[in-house]
Amino acid sequence: MKKCAREWLCALLALVLVLGLTGCGGSGSSDIKVNVEVPEEYKEFVTPYNVNVVEKAKSDGKMHYYFMASEGYVANAGDHNAIKWGDSCLIVYPDGTTMLIDAGVEGYGPILVLNLKLMGIEKLDYFVLTHPHDDHGYGAVRPGGLLENIEVGHVYYSGVLNAGWSNPTILPDLCKEKGIPCDIIKEGDKLTIGGVEIQVLNPTGEVAGTTIAGSDETGSITKTNNASLVMRFDFEEHSALFTGDIYRAAESELVKKYKESGLLDVDFLKLPHHGGDTSNSITLVKAVTPVLGVATGNDPVDIMVYGNYKKNTTVLMDSEDGYIHVTADKDGVMTYETSRARSEKSAYGQLPEAKERKLTA
């Protein structure tokens, strides 16, 4: 729901839990470990969510967000930051429908595939690519990655193509080869999946379907990032916003378009561009006013950005907290758990104490 309209509502952020090796807990068939052999080289990096996440969502009727992490794995060998791996989040809808948003870098592909299998995913219903950059798409389209190893029912992307890729049309080409429906979505499009309403807020129809060329100096990275899919999710009283890698200029445009309608005002935010200072402007923070935020990529959130959110938002990040699992029920109550405790020496301070606390608009 729109937070500006819920002054009468107090939501509860439940216990902050540190995951054990058995994963998510609960009861019933969803707790049964999935029998997947993990090669020794990946054992310390894969997800602790060794549980049937589809059955878990079906049994509790909640929306689940599983944010991937690399836990220091050298996924980007040769880069100046070799352990920076990108973005990937598995959403499991209340009816068990699955959607993966982004897939990390090529080197992360094998871990991503293992993660999904460890969570009982034999087939993904949907894959969404927010924008064609290596750290969001190569884990899906390159050898050893998602599309080579996991059956996918439907693919959505913005249609924006990156001329810097050796094959700019690799995603639609692979989908055609494998017989997977692959559709462009853009601003104004609406989907209903698993009882959840999804609205696409970016990019515009003029940008969708274009090829972005040129060097970094001519702004090709900025243009591609600003053409990221921005998607709002509404599950009755719960609302979430996924933002890809949009920069401040795109944030400003979105605020101009949607602030009055309240479409940016949500409970839960996937921080733009891994929590970097290219993004996450005060303008956006004030428009979104999230209760909970997540940043991934093993690229620590800019400390000033963290400060912008800190007053009203609990921000989780894989560089500090490992794998992150967020749940939301239809009443808007959110809980989260992380795979490891935050260091006592963390520059970001500690997460709220492990007790219930009220969250107000």
> Cα 334–289–93 angle (5° rounding)?
35
Residues in CB range of 36: below 8 A, 6 or more apart: 50, 114, 117, 118
pTM over 0.75: yes
pLDDT of residue 209: 82
Classified as helix, coil or strand, 259 is coil
Residue 328 has φ and ψ, to the nearest 5°, of -140, 135
pLDDT averaged over 10-residue windows placed end to end, the chain, 361 residues? 39 42 41 85 94 96 97 90 96 98 97 97 97 98 96 97 95 98 97 98 91 81 96 98 98 96 97 97 96 96 95 95 96 94 93 48 29
pLDDT of residue 10: 35
pLDDT of residue 218: 72
Q: Which residues pair with 242 in a beta bridge?
A: 231, 270
pLDDT of residue 338: 95
Q: Is 68 exposed, middle or buried (0-12, 13-18, 19+ CB in 10 A)?
A: buried
The alpha carbon of 147 is separated from its chain's Cα centroid by a whole number of angstroms, namely 18
Q: Give the Cα separation of 333 and 257 in Å (integer).
A: 28
pLDDT of residue 355: 36
| Torsion (CA) 66, 19, 331, 191 in degrees, nearest 10 | 10
> Hey, CA dihedral for 90, 93, 98, 100, is it positive or negative?
negative
Q: Give the Cα separation of 122 and 23 in Å (integer).
A: 18
pLDDT of residue 263: 97
H/E run at residue 193: strand 190-193
pLDDT of residue 234: 98
DSSP-assigned letters across all residues of 296-361: -SS-PPPHHHHHHHHTT-EEEEHHHH-SEEEEE-TTS-EEEEESSPPPTT-TT-PPPPSS-EEE--
Residue of 157, 153, 233, 154 lying closest to 192 (CA atoms): 233
The rounded percent of the chain whose pLDDT value lies above 90 is 81
pLDDT of residue 19: 43
Q: Are strands 151-157 and 182-184 parallel, antiparallel or unpaired?
A: parallel
> Cα 190–194–197 angle (5° rounding)?
30
